[in-house]
Amino acid sequence: MTDEPWKAEADEDEEDLEIADVQYKTVKDAILFTIDVSPSMLESPPQVQDKKRVKDSAFLASLKCAYELLTQRIIAQPNDLIGVLLHGVDTRKLEAKFGIPDTKEIDELQGCYLLINLGIPSAEDIKKLKLLIENPDEIYQAIIPNSEPVSIANTIFSAAQIFSVRAANFVSRRLFIVTDNDRPHGTDERIKIQATQRAKDLYDLGVTIDLFPLARPDEKFDRSKFYDAKPSDPDAPASISQIARRESDIHGIDLLAYLLSSVRSRITPKRALFSNLSLHIGPGFTISVKGYLIFKRQEPRRTQYVYMGHEPVLVKSDSIKVSGDTHQVVERTPQDKEEEHKAYKFGGDQILFTKKELAEVKHFGEPGITIIGFKNITKETLPVWANIKGATYIYPSEEEYVGSSRVFSALYQKMLKDNKMALVWFIARKNATPQIAAMIPGARKEDDTGTIILPEGLWVCPLPHVDDLRQYPDTVSVSAADQLIDKMRVIVQQLQLPKGQYIPNKYSNPALQHHYRVLQSMALGEDHPEPEDKIIPKYKQIAKRTGAYVQEWAEELEAQQEKWQANSKPAATATKRPAPQKSNGDAIPTRKKSKLVDAGDIDEATIRTAWEKSTLAKLTIPELKSFLSAKGMSTSGKKQELTDRIEEYYETK
Amino acid sequence: MTDKEATVYIVDVGKSMGAKQPGRDVSNLDWAMVYIWDKMTTIVALERKTTFQAVLALRSDHSYNELMQDGSYENIYVLQELKALQRQDLKELQRQLVPSKSNQGDAIDAVVVAIDMITKHCKKLKYKRRIMLVTDGRGHMDPDQIPDIAEKLKDEDIELIVLGIDFDDPEYHFKEEDKPEHKEKNETLLKQLADGSKGIFGTLAQAIEELGQPRVKSTRPIASFKGTLTIGSPSNQYGNSLVIAVERYPKVMVRKPPSASTVRALQQTQSSATLQGDDAMDMDQANGATAILSERNYYVDDETQPGGRRDVDYEDLIRGYEYGRSVVPLSESEQNITRLETEPCLDVLGFVSSKDFPRQMLMTTSHIVVGAKGDAEATMALSSLVHALSELEDYAVARFVAKKDKAPFVVLLAPLIQPDYECLVELELPFAEDVRTYRFAPLDKILTVGGKEITEHARLPNDNLKQAMSDYVDRMDLTTFGDDEEGNPTEYGKIEDIYSPLLHRLDQVIRWRATNDAQEIPPPYPILLKYANPPEDLIAAATPQLSALKSAAKVEKVPPQAKSRRTKPTTNPISGLDIAALLEPASQIDPSNSIPSFERMVNPPPTTDPDAPGPDPERISKASKSLTQVIEKRIKESFGSLAYERALEEMGHLRRRLDELEEPRLWNDWLESLKKKIAADGLGEDRFEFWRRVRESRLGLLFVPPRRPAGVSGAEVEAAREKWLLETRNFWSLK
């Protein structure tokens, strides 16, 4: 480390010094969603009594899942790639219907058809899938299993090529495979080895395989037959077995729900906000952690500029630097850039700093989380209002310090057990603004389906500084009597959310969903959908549950109000501003020959003269107001309104 | 809006102010100006048109003020009338405020002049009036009329602040030795005046010491929502809806530091940050700097045009959205088509328990919700809800729309009861779309892929470590570590005690530079760094616990070498099947499967011997040669930039692996030859773009650590690294 640590990033552009606080490293993700087309996948499930159950074949459910995946991804990860590959399908029919996919530089795909090429999905892609899922008959005409069994090795190899060509250099590349065939190699051991080899290649390429196994109606999916042999990321949590356990009892509509929930939990690649950040537990005692944003507001994308050529195209833009006075383009060499200054506005002038000076000023130390000490979590030490933005979830990492995990675990367990928070000084990145924060423990929380809503670990919640606190507005000082509180208490008890918890997964963002549904309809040339707002409270239900109690409360409120009004002085004058004090024409201390002159009170004659000369505007507001109030007229409004009122007064007189 | 302010500074510039007192290396005047400039720049920095400041020089060589007549009010010079000062005014004042050759001039006279200035300026308007007098108290003062002047100050509601250089202050424990008699008398007079007008009288040293205390700006609360809080339908559709008229105000709002613009100084010779005041005055832009602005250029991709782009006119553009890869243009009338129509509301959805409420779900700053202004009934109604929630330890969850057609949010409403204030605190909660379901392994146990639970593992703490951690955490308790004003133990690091470091640091340096042109920037005030580390006393007391924790934890830093040399973890199939044994090593690279076949070529044939040597240099060299041929071919045959990404990926892989395998020279040699080929158009014409991408992808030369059998010193490695850095920087040029 040098003596001037801010120098470390000297070669980066200065604009980087002011990085937006929450910014993800751009980790691009590509998913190739592969569906196995086998006779059993296409088979309709056995007829069931329950009419609600839709007779979806496993293939149709998978296709619906792919459709959901595509439309969701457009919203959540608009820059990430996705493709749909059909494995073991007779390609001739499909080629006739949808054309030959553009697979430049890819060896011929044998026995698999690239229904949607790996890329950012287009409206046409969505349309294609929609057509298929809405017309299952089309499926049976166009999608026919290949007469010869197709080796899974071929498909994996094709996938590897598709990734290499279309998603080169992507950090995250994942092959999703939906299949009900636990022995894709048949009985041929040679094919098994080949397939394993291809899977290993995929691993070398950095592509991970996520398997979504489906059970056939009459038999279980046995992973040990083939799929356990595929290499897996040793860091991946061992929850795959969990899914394997559940697959047996699913089909039809449940199948789709199962697929959706398991795909959803894997749709976002794990993106760290920072990795290997130092957590200083005490001086000379440091471990390393990774940070994640678990909650991040999903916003509709901003509008962009579009140029209408023969078809609408998105306009790109770049910025050039121009001189403020001549508007000439400024050429800047790195040397020039270094010599430019940063300017702050101050009193009609600019205060200049060299970039180095400013970097030095803004440098508060190296990135890290430093524990200052611990406190019990109470309403006083950590009030609910003390929040400024989303919390950062941190999790130990062994990469920088071996032993981080056990220390982190001990810290977490202690803090959770004794309900402690740590006050921390938090610098998230190089040259980031330091932030005071509360580091709190959070236990794991699952919803009823076992989906984890909150992972266990520590959370860094940034606290406001004293500068960020706002004053309270004036209010009438009145408290509710116990009788009234009692009535309200019943109402509150009547309206508990299930288990007394807020589960975000149950509240979909209506504005965001509407935005994208409208966009989708426009892109597909369909009718606009009806707005739908699922977070509007169920008024009828609420009325049913609380109506009677609300009535009682309202009556009590009325009674209490009367009581209060009787006991307190009429009209809350406290909010009124006191009238300006009348000058008493005070004596000037006659010190030697000094002259202290008072601005005397204005009399009616002055106002009248001013009106006649049309110089009312030259008078001060208090002068105008004191005249108006003397005449019993309103004194509210801006100066213009006051003078207007006076003019009116004289004109109508 | 905030109150108007009028401040008159009376600065003693008498001859004696030019002297340096023993123990200080600046003159009395310069010392006084430290304080005055700080005050003045603070007000200028507010950038308000209604804060007026004036400056009087006391004991000046000449006289200029409105009261002077017949030899009275002499040696008082109005340097600056009351005005919303700008920086130029400060610079001018800076030039004028120098010690005079005179010792004539009466401080109390100056106060009268200041009173006159203020009363004439402010008339009877609502103003905050202030006179600040800084003097060394060595001039002559006439005690005449002091009680009357004090009375006048009170009548006019003017606050008088007298700060004396080396004035005695028993409370601050300061007493000047060998004080001249007339100074002592003057101090008494000024104290009499200050006390008589309920003003402030103090010694300058204390005032300067307190400058490090940051000032917190206050903002008048402005309602961001006025509407109703309802339980049940707002339109009372089903009867018996509970409706309370409420208003919402910010509770926490992050104050942002000012932003800077980029400028280019006109006089490059002037290496210091600003020009000297005098030169700058004559120029339009006082500091002689030109702003550098950004301008946007709009274009569309067009292969037929040179450079592959065609500029388009801003006027021809319309707005639209991206939907996946498709573009959805919007006509003028369709601008708001995707907007969900909503009505303003704060409708309760239900109630949740506040115990164990996951605070980490809170997403925003907080607001408060209070009964509508002046509405006693609403306030009482809301109070009943606040108390009911507090007693039940519940929070409300509500749907909130701040303005018509704004997006609805789900918010949390928590009760807040303070001795004199009751309200609900409101913060936004996440929607389903805002949650990222990442999966993490549990922290207190390890689940194996086989489904077993392990509780003893190197990644889990043993009882010893747990105990040591518990002791340390308990010892580092802050609950009673702080001192309150009376010196009683209290919580350390309350929110009300912690200032925003960047905000006040920037404020400090901007104001400082405003009057200290090109000098070096002073260090930050200690209070801004107070919470960067645990308090020293606390950590000292916790030393035994910390060392116990350290020895129980046995944490080791991964040496940097090991990190960079670490290879990818070996693949472990769940089944335990040894894949490597099944596979045949490749003898050449398959271009369509380049990276995997490279790996297969590099890695030695499978063996069960754990001590078997790793990849040997010959294999590595052969494999990398083969891969580089593939890459070069790819570039050469690439149609436009089509194959660049793929080539870059292969290069990235090769570079990383050669570094891991400690064969950096192989990479460096090839990269040199690649550069030559590209420069000579050997890989197709005009592959400069590709070279730019290589540079952008940071695929430069690898560092070759010096190696000698006897070992190398750290200094040698450092020197080699320096050399390598330089080479890398100069490497990219294709000329």
Q: How far is B16 from chain A (nearest CA, A)?
A: 27
For chain A positions 209-238, those within 8 Å of chain B (CB to CB) are: 223-224, 228-232, 234, 237-238
Inter-residue contact A252 to A55 (CB < 8 Å): yes
Note the pLDDT of residue A243. 36
Fold that domain B221-438 belongs to in CATH: Ku70; Chain: A; Domain 2 (2.40.290)
Asked if A141 and A226 sit in the same domain, the reply is: yes
pLDDT at A623 exceeding the cut of 80: no
Q: Which residues of B touch A161 (CB under 8 A)?
A: 592-593
Q: How far is A41 from chain B (nearest CA, A)?
A: 26
Note the pLDDT of residue A602. 60
Each residue's pLDDT tens digit, A232-267? 443 333 333 333 333 434 444 467 777 777 777 677
Provide the pLDDT confidence category of residue A581 given band limits of 50, 70 and 90.
Answer: very low
Q: Which residues make Cβ contacts (< 8 Å) with residue A29, sequence separation at least 6?
A: A77, A80, A81, A170, A171, A172, A173, A174, A268, A269
Could you tell me the CATH number of the domain that includes residue A240? 3.40.50.410
User: pLDDT: is B398 or B333 the higher one?
Assistant: B398
Q: How far is B19 from chain A (nearest CA, A)?
A: 31
Residue of B nearest to A425 (CA): B532
Q: Which residue has the tokens 């792919």?
A: A66
CA distance B354 to B414: 8
Note the pLDDT of residue A151. 81
Average pLDDT over residues B448-476: 86
Residue of A nearest to B363 (CA): A390
pLDDT at B407 exceeding the cut of 80: yes
The hierarchical CATH code for the domain B4-212 is 3.40.50.410
Which H/E stretch holds residue A275?
Answer: strand A274-282
- 8 Å CB contact of B352 and A500: yes
Give me B137's structure tokens.
């108290």
Inter-residue contact B156 to B126 (CB < 8 Å): no
Q: Coil, strand, or helix at residue A144? A: coil
Give a three-class secondary structure readout of B383-430: HHHHHHHHHHCEEEEEEEECCCCCCCEEEEEEEEEECCEEEEEEEECC
Inter-residue contact B204 to B167 (CB < 8 Å): yes
A497-525 b/e (C-beta count within 10 Å ≥ 16 → b): beebbbbbbebebbbbbbbbbbbbbbbbe
Closest by Cβ to A557, choosing from B381, B442, B572? B381
Asked if A430 and A340 sit in the same domain, the reply is: yes
Inter-residue contact B112 to B67 (CB < 8 Å): yes
CA distance B286 to B87: 10
User: Would you tell me how many other CB atoms lie within 10 Å of the CB of residue A302?
Assistant: 8
HSE-up of residue A18 (Cα within 13 Å, Cβ side): 14
Question: What residues of A are annotated to the active site?
Answer: 25
Number of domains in chain A: 4
Strands B127-135 and B309-311: what pairing? unpaired
Average pLDDT over residues A405-424: 96
User: pLDDT: is B120 or A96 the higher one?
Assistant: B120
Closest by Cβ to B646, choosing from A164, A287, A568? A164
Of A529, A527, A410, the residue nearest A458 (C-alpha): A410
Q: Which residues of B touch A544 (CB under 8 A)?
A: 238
Inter-residue contact A69 to A33 (CB < 8 Å): yes
Each residue's pLDDT tens digit, A127-180? 889 888 888 887 778 888 888 878 888 888 888 888 988 888 887 888 988 888
- 8 Å CB contact of A519 and B592: no
Which H/E stretch holds residue A91?
Answer: helix A91-98
Which H/E stretch holds residue B154?
Answer: helix B146-155
pLDDT at A29 exceeding the cut of 70: yes
Inter-residue contact B394 to B400 (CB < 8 Å): no
The full set of domain ranges for chain B reads 4-212, 221-438, 583-702
* Ordered DSSP codes for B95-139: HH----S-----HHHHHHHHHHHHHHHHTTSSEEEEEEEEE-S-S
User: Would you tell me how many other CB atoms lie within 10 Å of the CB of residue A625?
Assistant: 20
Q: Which residue has the tokens 């009116």?
A: A648
Residue of B nearest to A354 (CA): B273
Q: Which residues of A touch B428 (CB under 8 A)?
A: 297
Q: Which residue has the tokens 């328990």?
A: B353
Q: How many CB pairs under 8 A join A and B?
A: 855
Average pLDDT over residues B123-141: 91
Inter-residue contact B602 to B661 (CB < 8 Å): yes
Of A396, A387, A394, the residue nearest A437 (C-alpha): A387
Q: Does A250 touch chain B (CB under 8 A)?
A: no
Each residue's pLDDT tens digit, B158-193? 999 999 999 988 888 888 888 888 899 999 999 999
The interface predicted TM-score (ipTM) is: 0.82
Q: Is residue A456 part of a domain?
A: yes
Inter-residue contact B373 to B253 (CB < 8 Å): no
* Ordered DSSP codes for B276-315: -HHHHHTSSSTT-EEEEEEEEEEEEE-TTSGGGEEE--GG
CA distance B6 to B49: 11
- 8 Å CB contact of A465 and B498: yes
Which H/E stretch holds residue A290?
Answer: strand A285-292
Dihedral sign of CA atoms B224, B227, B233, B237 in order: negative
**A599 secondary structure, DSSP code:** -
**B225 phi/psi in degrees, rounded to 5:** -165, 130
Give me A248's structure tokens.
């047996």
Asked if A212 and A146 sit in the same domain, the reply is: yes
First to last CA, chain A: 84
Q: Is residue A16 part of a domain?
A: no
pLDDT at A359 exceeding the cut of 80: yes
Cross-strand partners of A295 = B435
Final residue in a domain of this structure, among A211, A243, A267: A267
* Ordered DSSP codes for A40-73: HHHSPPPP-S-TTS----HHHHHHHHHHHHHHHH
User: pLDDT: is B164 or B301 the higher one?
Assistant: B164
Q: Which residues of A touch B47 (CB under 8 A)?
A: 345, 347
Which H/E stretch holds residue A396?
Answer: strand A392-396
CA distance B529 to B521: 17
**A300 phi/psi in degrees, rounded to 5:** -60, 150
Note the pLDDT of residue A373. 96
Of B655, B677, B660, the residue nearest B728 (C-alpha): B655
Inter-residue contact A453 to B435 (CB < 8 Å): yes
Closest by Cβ to A508, choosing from B380, B433, B575? B433
Asked if A263 and A276 sit in the same domain, the reply is: no
Average pLDDT over residues A339-365: 88
pLDDT at A545 exceeding the cut of 80: yes
Note the pLDDT of residue A42. 84
Comparing A98-102, A377-381, B258-262, B622-626, the range with the smallest average pLDDT is A98-102
Q: How far is CA B521 from the centre of its chain?
A: 18
Give me B222's structure tokens.
């402005």
Q: How far is A69 from chain B (nearest CA, A)?
A: 12
For chain A positions 298-357, those within 8 Å of chain B (CB to CB) are: 298, 300-301, 303-309, 312-325, 327, 330, 332, 336, 339-354, 357
- 8 Å CB contact of A204 and B595: yes
Residue of A nearest to B432 (CA): A505
Inter-residue contact A294 to B360 (CB < 8 Å): yes
Inter-residue contact A254 to A261 (CB < 8 Å): no
Provide the pLDDT confidence category of residue B271 given band limits of 50, 70 and 90.
Answer: very low
Q: What is the mean pLDDT of chain B?
A: 85
Inter-residue contact B56 to B64 (CB < 8 Å): no
Note the pLDDT of residue B449. 55
Asked if A311 and A338 sit in the same domain, the reply is: yes
Strands A368-376 and A420-427: what pairing? antiparallel
Note the pLDDT of residue A244. 35
Domain that holds residue A615: 604-652
Q: Which residues of A touch B242 (CB under 8 A)?
A: 491, 546, 550, 553-554
Could you tell me the CATH number of the domain that includes residue A381? 2.40.290.10
Cross-strand partners of B246 = B227, B371
Of A253, A244, A254, A251, the residue nearest A211 (C-alpha): A244
Please tell me the pTM assigned to this model.
0.79
Asked if A151 and A255 sit in the same domain, the reply is: yes
Residue B350, judged by CB atoms within 10 A of its CB (0-12, 13-18, 19+), counts as: buried
CA distance B124 to B22: 46
Specify the length of chain A in residues.
Answer: 653
Average pLDDT over residues A297-309: 85
Asked if A443 and A547 sit in the same domain, the reply is: no
Residue A530, judged by CB atoms within 10 A of its CB (0-12, 13-18, 19+), counts as: exposed
Asked if A143 and A221 sit in the same domain, the reply is: yes
Which of B382, B495, B510 should we substitute to test contact with A (largest number of A Cβ atoms within 10 Å)? B495
Asked if A313 and A200 sit in the same domain, the reply is: no
Asked if A297 and A176 sit in the same domain, the reply is: no
CA distance A597 to A591: 13
Q: Which residues of A touch B733 (CB under 8 A)?
A: none
Give me A545's structure tokens.
């549950």
- Residue B301's identity, in one-letter code, is D
Q: Which residues make Cβ contacts (< 8 Å) with residue B675, sequence separation at least 6?
A: B691, B731, B734
Asked if A104 and A232 sit in the same domain, the reply is: yes
- CATH says B583-702 is which class? mainly alpha
Q: How far is A180 from chain B (nearest CA, A)?
A: 19
Each residue's pLDDT tens digit, B229-249? 999 988 888 888 999 999 999
HSE-up of residue B494 (Cα within 13 Å, Cβ side): 15
Asked if A237 and A219 sit in the same domain, the reply is: yes
CA distance A329 to A327: 6
Each residue's pLDDT tens digit, B685-735? 778 888 988 888 888 888 888 877 677 777 888 888 888 888 887 888 876
Q: Which residue has the tokens 């003062």?
A: B141
Q: Which residues make Cβ contacts (< 8 Å) with residue B670, sequence separation at least 6?
A: B624, B628
Note the pLDDT of residue B572. 44
Of A562, A619, A371, A169, the residue nearest B542 (C-alpha): A371
Inter-residue contact B31 to B146 (CB < 8 Å): no
Comparing A540-544, B164-168, B279-283, B355-359, the range with the smallest average pLDDT is B279-283
Note the pLDDT of residue A239. 36
Which of left, alpha, beta for A450 (phi over 0: left; psi -120 to 50: alpha)? Answer: left
Of B264, B582, B26, B287, the residue nearest A350 (C-alpha): B287
Give me B115's structure tokens.
């009173």
